[in-house]
Amino acid sequence: MSVIAVLGTLDSKGAEHAFVADQIRLRGHEVLLIDVGTGDDPTVEPGVSRFEVAAAASVDLQQVLDRKDRGECVAAMTRSAPVLLAQLVAESRISGVISLGGGGGTAIATAAMRALPTGFPKVMVSTLASGNTSHYVGTRDIVMIPSVVDVSGLNRVSRTIFTRAAGAICGMVESEVNISDSRPIVVASMFGNTTDLVSMAREQLEVAGYEVLVFHATGTGGRTMESLIESGMVAGILDVTTTELADELAGGVLTAGPNRLDAMSKAGVPAVLAPGCLDMINFGERDTVPSRFKNRAIYEHNAQVTLVRTSPEECGQLGKILAEKANANKAPASILIPTRAVSVISAPGGVFHSPAADSKLFEAIRKESEVEVIELPAEINSEEFAAACVKTLLRLMSGKFTLESA
């Protein structure tokens, strides 16, 4: 029998959380009710009071409550709930967590869930789950379920949603995960325009005895990969799709932030880097592309994704950024350049083919790099380039590193 945490604002949504708790008990599990409300007294008896939650982060909740500032109260719980929940998990006192909420409740509960390890069961039923949830989910595996109606009272719709959500968290907790793979981990970054490269490299690395985890370079994917690298679990990095740097520089929608590629230097992990897809800036539908790019080459990848060609000036800056990130790594690093194309659509005849822009990119990498730079007269998705990336990474991970430029 497992204990499942039901965390929420038990002052305004006590009946709803109590209903979910009852559904969990019907499945044979125990419940730990955790109150993160800051308004009236809780309408159901919690197993952990709001004051105990705040105390976990050394917050004097009564002082906060006395100031009667709702924003400050929510912020206090947003700081405290992650500390408490992480403690409960570390002490093996809970096996899963579920919450229901509107704006404030979702902010508090998902902050707590983001403090928990990947793989730990987490379910959030929210009025905000049908929109952009990236800032709630972050880099964690939080299951977001739209509440459909407001989390305000029990009715035929909310009972259905809450019952299914309770079944979801119970099913997740009941599922046995058998992880017996002891192979060292290599992480790789991939985009649609580098799929062939990463697929070939993954197969070769698996033959060599590595488990390869592939992350889609969509902002969240890059941040998630960085988080895993920083955790110390990674033996090698195949970061061949560094396109998120272009979105950060030029204002695209898939930026992973200014700290992209910094985790390798913090963790000291051998890395092979490539300027994969630095020819493109990502936007949504065609009409979302800023007018300042109207004279650029534009490619509609699909109805929801529009790509804009990076300029020679931007490519020069990106080459410098990539080189400086590589230089900072305290472990061996190499930059591999496919001089014929950095993406499918930058190859000769492609809509993003621009020798002038590529020249600026490659020149900046050569000029600024203090690590090994290997240039191959090949396209990024070629068998030749994939084999070179794998061969170089295996060499770096083995400790056989020499500074050279090819």
- CA angle (354, 355, 360) in 5-degree steps: 105
**Tally of CB atoms within 10 A around 391:** 15
Q: How far is CA 143 from the centre of its chain?
A: 14
Structure confidence by residue, pLDDT tens digits, 279-295:
999 999 999 999 999 99
User: Is the pLDDT at 26 greater than 60, yes or no?
Assistant: yes
* Average pLDDT for 157-164: 97
CA-closest candidate to residue 239, choices 201, 267, 184: 201
Of residues 177 and 216, more confidence is placed in 216
Contact present, 374 and 392 (Cβ < 8 Å): yes
Which pLDDT band holds residue 406 (cuts at 50, 70, 90)?
A: very low
- In this predicted structure, what is the pLDDT of residue 131? 82
Q: Worst-scoring range by mean pLDDT, 39-43, 103-107, 130-134, 293-297?
A: 130-134
pLDDT tier at 400, thresholds 50, 70, 90:
low
Of 129-133, 177-181, 207-211, 292-296, which range is least confident? 177-181
- Domains along the chain with CATH numbers: 3-174 (3.40.50.12020), 185-398 (3.40.50.12030)
Widest CA span in the chain: 70
DSSP class of residue 293 equals G
pLDDT of residue 272 exceeding 60, the answer is yes
Q: Average pLDDT over the chain, rounded to whole?
A: 95
Judge contact between 260 and 247, C-beta under 8 A.
Answer: no
Torsion angle of the four alpha carbons 208, 214, 217, 223, in this order, in degrees rounded to the nearest 10: -110
Report in angstroms the alpha-carbon separations of 120 from 63, 95, 142, 169, 224: 33, 7, 9, 10, 16
pLDDT in tens, 229-267: 998 889 999 999 999 999 999 999 999 999 999 999 999
**Which residue reads 């005895």 in tokens?**
209
- Tokens for 382, please give them: 């070629």
CA pair distance 24, 224, nearest whole angstrom: 31
244 is written with which tokens? 């998120």
3-state helix, strand, coil in the chain (%, to 5): 45, 20, 40
Q: At 222, which helix (H) or strand (E)?
A: helix 220-230
- Whether 405 has a pLDDT exceeding 50, the answer reads no
Within 10 angstroms of residue 117's Cβ, the number of other Cβ atoms is 12
* Average pLDDT of the residues in 350-378: 98
Calpha distance 303→16 (Å, rounded):
39
Contact 7, 99 (CB under 8 A): yes
> Is a pLDDT exceeding 50 seen at residue 402?
no
pLDDT of 182 reads 84
